Amino acid sequence: MTNIEKTIIYVKKELQQAEAGHDWFHIQRVYGLAIKIAETEICQLKVVQYAALLHDIADSKFHGGDETIGPRKARAFLETIAEETSVIDHVVQIIENISFKGGHFNQTFKSIELDIVQDADRLDALGAIGIARAFNFGGYKNKSLFDPDISPKLDMDKETYKKSDGPTINHFYEKLLLLKDRMNTSSGKALAQVRHDFMLDFLSQFKNEWFQKI
């Protein structure tokens, strides 16, 4: 059994009870997208694979906002399979720097492998899947669907973003519609445009129905 196969088994087990937008199927989609993008870039594929598989092993939003748990769990697991220290360090740095965090987070690390996995993760927040994930998480947090009297907060800092409890529709304007212009790779940008346009069509239809214009 390869180390990648061991990692897949580990992640599946760890995320058995995860919220549906951050479960094994999310990881599986990001993993596939990351490999697809990696085919168009010069990169360390093994680092991309590990980072895609482990990037949400302990998402901070489900652990009281603690951003250290995920990187620590990823490092501990990779050490159990005797992966090279340089690879482990690279994967951990990707996990520490991948999140959106309100769009005001200054990355302390940069690599093409991070660019690839970050694009793959962001793509899964766009399009039909992104819409489904947004409303699933909104239901999980008991958020309202939409409230015309509550405007999106477009200039949130990292901490305000983490604590945001606005309607789910606002999340599209606060994060999801911003992702297209934050993609790193050419492949990521092309895929994001299609999914972005789909979300714009959805929002138009949603509001037309909400305000009974159609």
pLDDT band (50, 70, 90) for residue 66? confident
pLDDT band (50, 70, 90) for residue 67? confident
> For 104-112, what is the mean pLDDT?
80
Tokens of 130: 């992104």
Task: Using alpha carbons, select from 154, 144, 160 the residue that is nearest to residue 177.
Answer: 154
CATH code (residue 182)? 1.10.3210.50
The range of the structural domain enclosing residue 12 comes to 3-210
pLDDT digits (tens, 9 = 90+) for 185-198: 999 999 999 999 99
Helices and strands: H and E segment counts in the chain: 10, 0
> For 15-27, what is the mean pLDDT?
94
Q: What is the DSSP letter of 179?
A: G
Task: Using alpha carbons, select from 133, 130, 116 the residue that is nearest to residue 50.
Answer: 116
Could you give phi then psi for residue 150, rounded to 5 degrees?
Answer: -110, 110
Could you give phi then psi for residue 83, rounded to 5 degrees?
Answer: -75, 155
Total domain count, the chain: 1
> For 5-21, what is the mean pLDDT?
95
Q: pTM above 0.85?
A: yes
